[in-house]
Structure 1
Amino acid sequence: MRADQDLREVVASVQAVQQYQPPKRGIRSATPEEIQAGLTADVYFVGTQQILHELGLSDEVVTAEIFANHAGVLAGVEEALTMLAPLNVTVDALDEGSMVSAKQVVMRITGQYGVFGLYETALLGILAASSGWATAAHEIVEAAKPVPVVSFGARHVHPAVASVMDRAAMVGGAQGASSILGARQAGEIPSGTMPHALLLMAGDTVKAAQAYDALMPPNAPRVVLVDTFKDEAEEALRVAEALGSKLAAIRLDTPRERGGVTPELVREVRARLSQKGYGHVGIFVSGGLTPARVGPLVEAGVTGFGIGSYIAAASPLDMTMDLKEINGKPVAKRGRIPGLTPSPSLKRRQTGATGD
Structure 2
Amino acid sequence: EGETFNPKETILRIVGPYEEFGIYETALLGILAQSSGWATAARECREAAKDKMFICFGARHVHPAVAPVMERAAIVGGASNASCILAAKILKRQPSGTIPHAAILIAGDTVTVAKAYDEIMPPDSPRIILVDTFKDEAEEALNVAEALKGALEGIRLDTPSERGGVTKELVNEVRQRLNQKGYNNVKIFVSGGLTPDKIRELSEAGADAFGVGSYISGASPIDMTMDIKMVDGVPVAKRGRIPGLIDNPKLKRVK
> TM-score normalized by structure 2?
0.99
Amino acid at match of 2:46: V
Corresponding residue to 1:156 among 58, 61, 68: 61
SS at match of 1:224: strand
Give runs of aligned pairs for residues 206-245 of structure 1, distance below 5 A.
206-245=111-150
Question: Which residue of 2 is the match for residue 191 of structure 1?
Answer: 96
SS at match of 1:111: coil
SS at match of 1:160: coil
Q: Give, in whole Å, the separation in 2 of the partners of 1:278 and 1:120.
A: 55
Deviation at 1:146, TM superposition (A): 2.3
Question: Which residue of 2 is the match for residue 102 of structure 1?
Answer: 7
Q: Give, in whole Å, the separation in 2 of the partners of 1:232 and 1:153.
A: 24
Structure 2 residue runs without a partner (length 5+) = none
Q: Give, in whole Å, the separation in 1 of the partners of 2:250 and 2:84.
A: 33
Corresponding residue to 1:178 among 66, 78, 83: 83
Q: Deviations over 1:164-217 (max 9, x none)?
A: 111100000001010110111111111010111111001000001001111111
Amino acid at match of 1:114: E
Q: Give, in whole Å, the separation in 1 of the partners of 2:249 and 2:175.
A: 50
Structure 1 residue runs without a partner (length 5+) = 1-95, 351-356
Question: Which residue of 1 is the match for residue 211 of structure 2?
Answer: 306
Corresponding residue to 1:321 among 217, 226, 233: 226
Corresponding residue to 1:120 among 3, 19, 25: 25
Deviation at 1:235, TM superposition (A): 0.1
Q: Which has the higher strand share?
A: 1
Q: Give, in whole Å, the separation in 1 of the partners of 2:186 and 2:7.
A: 43
Q: How many residues align?
A: 255
Q: Give, in whole Å, the separation in 1 of the partners of 2:204 and 2:52.
A: 10
Question: Which residue of 1 is the match for residue 105 of structure 2?
Answer: 200
Q: Give, in whole Å, the separation in 2 of the partners of 1:188 and 1:268.
A: 34
Q: Give, in whole Å, the separation in 1 of the partners of 2:250 and 2:94.
A: 33
Corresponding residue to 1:258 among 163, 179, 198: 163
Question: Which residue of 1 is the match for residue 34 of structure 2?
Answer: 129
Question: Which residue of 2 is the match for residue 11 of structure 1?
Answer: none
SS at match of 2:20: helix
SS at match of 2:178: helix
SS at match of 1:320: coil
Q: Deviations over 1:28-67 (max 9, x none)?
A: xxxxxxxxxxxxxxxxxxxxxxxxxxxxxxxxxxxxxxxx
Deviation at 1:148, TM superposition (A): 1.2
Q: Computing the radius of gyration over CA atoms, which structure comes out larger, 1 or 2?
A: 1
SS at match of 2:13: strand
Question: Which residue of 1 is the match for residue 152 of structure 2?
Answer: 247
Q: Give, in whole Å, the separation in 2 of the partners of 1:116 and 1:294.
A: 42
Deviation at 1:161, TM superposition (A): 1.1
SS at match of 2:14: strand
Q: Give, in whole Å, the separation in 1 of the partners of 2:123 and 2:7.
A: 47
Amino acid at match of 1:342: D
Q: Deviations over 1:311-348 (max 9, x none)?
A: 00111111110000011111111111000012122111
RMSD between aligned alpha carbons? 0.7
Q: Give, in whole Å, the separation in 1 of the partners of 2:156 and 2:163.
A: 16
Deviation at 1:119, TM superposition (A): 0.6
Deviation at 1:308, TM superposition (A): 0.4
